[in-house]
Amino acid sequence: MDVDIRVPDYLTFSRRGTGLNLPIRSRAGKDGAIHLVVDSTGLKTFGEGERLEKKHKTKPKCKSWRKLHLGLDFVSGDIVCSDLTTDDVGDPTALPELLDQIDGDVTRFIADGAYDGDPTSALLAERFGPVVEIIIPPPKTSVLSPDADENRTLRDQRITAIATRGRMALQASSSYNQRSRGETLMGRWKAIIGPKLKARSLLNQKTEAKIGTHILNKMTGLGRAQFEVAA
């Protein structure tokens, strides 16, 4: 075509990635509230890795992980919030940043026991009001609150239900099994985007994760499988 176009190299892309703002797809104009499933997974960063460690019996010069936090609306299939942090950031600590990205109403919040506790419940009630349904099963080591006899909270009720009916029965009755959609999303990310980050700095790695989020949402927008009962 005789067009003189300069092809960007890796360093150019790396510089452009610094501070690049890629907002999550807006839900403005969409009907229905969000049913949010939140989960996290680890992504490898640069370094020789375990293979050279086993082969040469040496400690890798640089091996670290980043933690990818994703929030999925399992009604629309869209990733409505995402963040990349260092591996020492706990899931409840990363939650406020995730919720800041959501521009719609959340009526149901599903997460694993890592989010259990009053800070998470108070944060969700503050952001989305008292009508939000919080589905977080208490860990096995959970105990009833001191005033459970007089003022039994939802968490106290679930602890009692687990003790009487079992954890699996509680999960089935509370729709907690929908959390598997979050685990499926993590597997989809690693199969399509990959289990490693190529960028070196945390800022560029955040941009890389945002690009991955946009790619998966674009694929979802092209079409989703429809399931029907055959018999």
Domains along the sequence of the chain with CATH: 32-139+152-218 (3.30.420.10)
| C-alpha distance from residue 49 to each of 46, 62, 205 (Å) | 8, 8, 18
Instruction: For residue 2, give the 3-state DSSP assignment.
Output: coil
Residue 187's nearest CA partner among 80, 72, 91 is: 72
Specify the amino acid at residue 81: C
Specify the amino acid at residue 185: L
Confidence of residue 48 (pLDDT cuts 50, 70, 90): low
Q: Name the strand (E) or helix (H) holding 107.
A: strand 106-110
For residue range 25-46, what is the model confidence (pLDDT) as tens digits? 655 546 678 999 999 999 998 7
CA dihedral 118, 177, 105, 69 (to 10 degrees): 70
Span 133-152, mean pLDDT? 82
